Amino acid sequence: MFYINLRKSLIKYKFSLNDIWNFDETGFFTVQVPEHVLVKRKKQQVASVTSAERGILVTMCNAVNASRSSITLFNIFPRIHFKDYFLRHSIPGSVGTANKSGWMVESMFMEWFIPFIKSVQPSKANPVLLILDNHDTYVD
């Protein structure tokens, strides 16, 4: 059904690559664990390379269009209150918010969606297609 509706929309509106957007979220840990350690040949001992920190799972939300452009990254931190220093070494322009669970909820989707509208500037004359997965938190 999805592909039938997608085809109808593509034919009806004749979207350019700049007008087709895909939104999704993913989780990442603030502390990375290396998968491989490189050492010189014939080395008898290899030291362990690990971090003492466990890290926290942060949700990152983004939309990318078919011409490979993206809008500002939106991060959700598992905290009660958001602090600006959470984004200290983040990608320039990233924004964030906090939620006790760290996951997307409806109000946070709207926090992301309003800047998306400002950035993309859809209109009746220039519609855009925003593709979302089937997540319940986007709409009530």
String of DSSP letters for 18-57: GGEEEEEEEEEESS---S-----TT-S-------S----E
Residue 43's pLDDT is 67
pLDDT of residue 8: 95
Specify the pTM.
0.74
Q: What is the 3-state secondary structure (H, E, C) of the chain?
A: CHHHHHHHHHHHHCCCHHHEEEEEEEEEECCCCCCCCCCCCCCCCCCCCCCCCCCCEEEEEEEEECCCCECCCEEEEECCCCCHHHHCCCCCCCEEEEECCCCCCHHHHHHHHHHHHHHHCCCCCCCCEEECCCCHHHCC
Taking every pair of Cα atoms in the chain, the longest distance, rounded to a whole number of angstroms, is: 68
> What tens-digit pLDDT sequence spans the chain (140 residues)?
989 999 999 999 999 999 999 999 888 887 766 667 677 777 666 666 555 566 788 889 999 998 999 988 899 999 999 999 999 988 888 899 998 888 888 888 888 998 899 999 999 999 999 998 876 655 55
The C-alpha atoms of residue 70 and residue 97 are separated, in whole angstroms, by 19
pLDDT value for 64: 94
Hey, what amino acid is at 11? Answer: I
Helix (H, G, I), strand (E, B) or coil at 114: helix
pLDDT at 90: 86
Q: How far, in Å, CA of 129 to CA of 8, rounded? A: 12
